[in-house]
Structure 1
């Protein structure tokens, strides 16, 4: 007998129904009632076991409340447990008396606690899931006799008992193939989580008359806490489901889902991903998990497709070879890393924007801060990996420039079967953006006469950046070998079909631009090539701008560059 009557009743109840506990004492630990080794437990030794008779299953819950048949597993189980908890004569009473009266998952956080989850995926998930939990609760109230109602707080507590203590139903019946279902295993749910703990969940017998046992995988010295292993769980899963999380959690990750809801080409891009069988492997194929120091290849491929411009989409619209998404072009790869950089930087900014107290914290705030700090670190790690990829792309472009390689238009790998993707040097030297891309500021600084011409004809370069950049492209083409970009621009010029049908509205707009500049411009700068600074030249430059440009987020410098490789 102990000094804990509830514990004595519980252990007697377990033993009466055929359960067993060996070399274990249950007592209060730092995180509630836990199991400790009263004697040394050897490897492969069974230290706890219960028959399936004691298990709370969905079948038991539905038998008690058949009118809830239309609802999914968790609401029915939660209602059943809540009702049983209000029943002093419940057959589960000894077990119910052992359950914690408070379960501090984020569903029970105060407003002060929730501040620590602001601007995180978990903060959003808590709000959204609470709406769904409440919807199920209100639905049940419409079905069940008012005399049998329970309060919202009791129902939510019951819901969190399952999130923090349940096991998969397949432990009871491995042949079960129905919708996801879960069970409560009295006694076995007492043991806390510790990653990498070696333990076996062993099932014996049939689903009707079997039992389940916990078997140690290592020696557990007397006096040590006996742990379970919940599996590879991120801090988001641990905090949301169990009310705690771990510093330096090797299984932690960030969740990223690109938003293409406003992209008019979104449906086509999703179809390309489907045709190429590119998916995150999650329920939502666009939701990607990024772990420490690893970005999944499916994420890179997804982003390459989602940032495709119209020109690239024309070539990839019917693509069904996932290998073609390993590399699209230098422009595409640079644009992809630029978008990823902006996305990750915005997440980091939001997390850093809230300056939160770090002393005298509640338990909820303490764990929320561990989660938050880990998320920020993971975002930064991901950003570092993206920036490394961006530098590799810039280094590859710079190598092509330095070797004065003349590429074959169109600058898309899919248009040149058999062309391998570039091999990146992992020890890349830093390459400034302006040395590997065509941008207005760089070109004007290197060509002062042309800069004076531009400043004469344009009051604001920024407001007419696209037109100025087109003129810069023609200028670079006219400079021939004096321009590092001449090989790629010449290749693009030679391959350009001026007789090809172009958008009449676009051509008319370019005609207006040409008429506003020429022939006056020739008088201002006599070195302008009259054979290139033509309407045809503007149509070509617009083609280059449309197909090989990368636009940066607002306020970024530069705002627009050309990557003609």
Structure 2
């Protein structure tokens, strides 16, 4: 009599314990992955498999067997229980199931250096390294708490990773067994875990009975022809890496504490374990992320005005300067991630299945980043259109600084669906004040600047000089902006007490002014009139630069 194969023993074990299945067989696909195929057509609404709950390995079962491991997570305890059952071999009730589990489970936790290149520069790479380091600490701690009858030599690090990977790749939520269970717990479900995942698969999981004596059945949601693979639909559980994780960094910001407090007061959070970590999917850009980014890019003036803000709606739009900077930083963040992904050169042919899956994951990451970048670019385009329209209509918020919190309802009333006239293409530099824009209309001043300054190295000084020069012109196109912010500054200076930091800044500014303006007045008296280029004018220009400017390119946002 021929000896049973491991698969035959496994299937007979399921049947012997009350399980049923029909019209299916177990094979490996072209990549070597185990799959379930139909041997006959499975009709819509037909029950083709039932698995009793008593065949499952649950956290409750593992904790009863290992009662002294209460300080460890459920997955750690279940991993150890699985390894002990494997060590017992035929003496274990679960051996027929354990014996057909893959001997090597190629999750990222067991990737070698070459494999890791396939997830290089992805969120999964950093997550894997961090998780593996934390797991090793758990493993060492576990060895110290093993029951006396268990030999430490029976539990190796490699075995532990295998057992842990079984749960990370094959487990289901315990609520499949007990829908009333509250909390997070996992279960290994023989036969159920044999079906591969396919999104939108029409299949019903039908639960029957209680947690001790019940079972789970599969019911086809549509006809499946003979010879086709049967898929399961695990929902969001198996889409956990189909996103890009982003965590903006506040650590280098001198106003970090105030900004984090603004987020807290306004209840801006990702609602994840780390409130600053956001997940971007193909069809989802978290609204709270953009609120957080608006806080992140606030300059000192904006931070000061929002320091006591408790209304999260006021972070839907802070101001045009803030919005431009927010969009620019967001684009830079996502483009750098995309560049890092594409910079890794990898083999794409004649590679094992886990590397093929890693390439699929990378492609998905690139796709999400491409889609997100396109959507943010559209946000930028719409913003510039809106600014262009307001400039044409000579509109400006009533109060400076031009922030939502200072101008209640003004920005909320703006039309966000402006349509440009045909063939009109509006760029950012046409709706902001740049040195180039000023100098192009002032040939005399432009010649002096060109002769004495390096545009890239001395951009700040050039901009300050342009501001003073432009403000001296009664018919400047930025007249309303200059007048309104000047009035606001005068009120602010009158009411605000002097500080040591402000005095120090003013002294540094005075030193810069004295080293430059008198000499320019002597060389170009007709242009550098000291009544125009006074020290107070220099202080004013510095205020404009600090409060209303954006970078790359350096420009003033006059709205």
TM-score relative to the length of structure 2: 0.91
1:129 Cα deviation (Å)? 1.0
The CA distance in 2 between the partners of 1:158 and 1:334, in whole Å, is: 50
Relative to structure 1, is the Cα distance of residues 29 and 454 closer, same or farther in structure 2, using a 3 angstrom cutoff? closer
SS in structure 1 of the partner of residue 228 of structure 2: coil
Does residue 103 of structure 2 align to residue 101 of structure 1? yes
Does residue 466 of structure 2 align to residue 462 of structure 1? no
Does residue 373 of structure 2 align to residue 383 of structure 1? yes
Partner of residue 295 from structure 1, selected from 269, 282, 285 = 285
Moved over 6 A (4+): none
Q: Is the 8 A contact 1:172 1:207 kept in 2?
A: yes
Q: Is the 8 A contact 2:385 2:418 kept in 1?
A: no
Relative to structure 1, is the Cα distance of residues 406 and 171 closer, same or farther in structure 2, using a 3 angstrom cutoff? closer
Matching residue of 2:181 = 176
Q: Which moved more, 1:52-61 or 1:34-43?
A: 34-43
Relative to structure 1, is the Cα distance of residues 4 and 488 closer, same or farther in structure 2, using a 3 angstrom cutoff? farther
The CA distance in 2 between the partners of 1:410 and 1:298, in whole Å, is: 24
**Deviation sequence 1:509-557 (CA, Å, 0-9, x none):** 22223333344434505145654422221222111111111233xxxxx
1:298 Cα deviation (Å)? 1.4
Relative to structure 1, is the Cα distance of residues 296 and 310 closer, same or farther in structure 2, using a 3 angstrom cutoff? same
Partner of residue 269 from structure 1, selected from 259, 266, 272 = 259
**Deviation sequence 1:400-426 (CA, Å, 0-9, x none):** 333333443121111112213333347
1:55-204 paired onto structure 2 within 5 Å: 55-88=56-89, 89-144=91-146, 145=148, 147=151, 149-178=154-183, 180-204=184-208
The CA distance in 1 between the partners of 2:161 and 2:125, in whole Å, is: 18
The CA distance in 2 between the partners of 1:177 and 1:234, in whole Å, is: 21
**Deviation sequence 1:486-511 (CA, Å, 0-9, x none):** 22122212332154545111222222
The CA distance in 1 between the partners of 2:163 and 2:341, in whole Å, is: 32
Q: Is the 8 A contact 2:244 2:368 kept in 1?
A: yes
1:234 Cα deviation (Å)? 6.6
1:259 Cα deviation (Å)? 1.2
Matching residue of 1:242 = none
1:347 Cα deviation (Å)? 1.3
Relative to structure 1, is the Cα distance of residues 380 and 25 closer, same or farther in structure 2, using a 3 angstrom cutoff? closer
1:233 Cα deviation (Å)? 5.5
CA RMSD of aligned residues (A): 2.3
Relative to structure 1, is the Cα distance of residues 67 and 12 closer, same or farther in structure 2, using a 3 angstrom cutoff? same
**Deviation sequence 1:305-350 (CA, Å, 0-9, x none):** 1111111111111212121111110000001011112212211221
**Deviation sequence 1:172-226 (CA, Å, 0-9, x none):** 2222223x21001111111111111112222222222222222221122222221
**Deviation sequence 1:126-167 (CA, Å, 0-9, x none):** 111111222211111122246253222222111111111111
Matching residue of 1:448 = 443
Relative to structure 1, is the Cα distance of residues 264 and 381 closer, same or farther in structure 2, using a 3 angstrom cutoff? same
Q: Is the 8 A contact 2:197 2:238 kept in 1?
A: no
Q: Which moved more, 1:529-538 or 1:311-320?
A: 529-538
**Deviation sequence 1:54-92 (CA, Å, 0-9, x none):** 110111111222222210011111111112112121110
The CA distance in 1 between the partners of 2:433 and 2:531, in whole Å, is: 22
Matching residue of 1:221 = 225
SS in structure 2 of the partner of residue 282 of structure 1: coil
1:356 Cα deviation (Å)? 2.2
Q: Is the 8 A contact 2:173 2:187 kept in 1?
A: yes
Q: Is the 8 A contact 1:437 1:561 kept in 2?
A: yes
The number of residues matched between the two structures is 542
Matching residue of 1:486 = 479
Q: Is the 8 A contact 1:195 1:232 kept in 2?
A: no
Q: Is the 8 A contact 1:407 1:491 kept in 2?
A: no
Matching residue of 2:22 = 22
**Deviation sequence 1:425-447 (CA, Å, 0-9, x none):** 47665422322222223323332
Matching residue of 2:318 = 328
TM-score relative to the length of structure 1: 0.90
Structure 2: 5+ residue runs without aligned partners? none
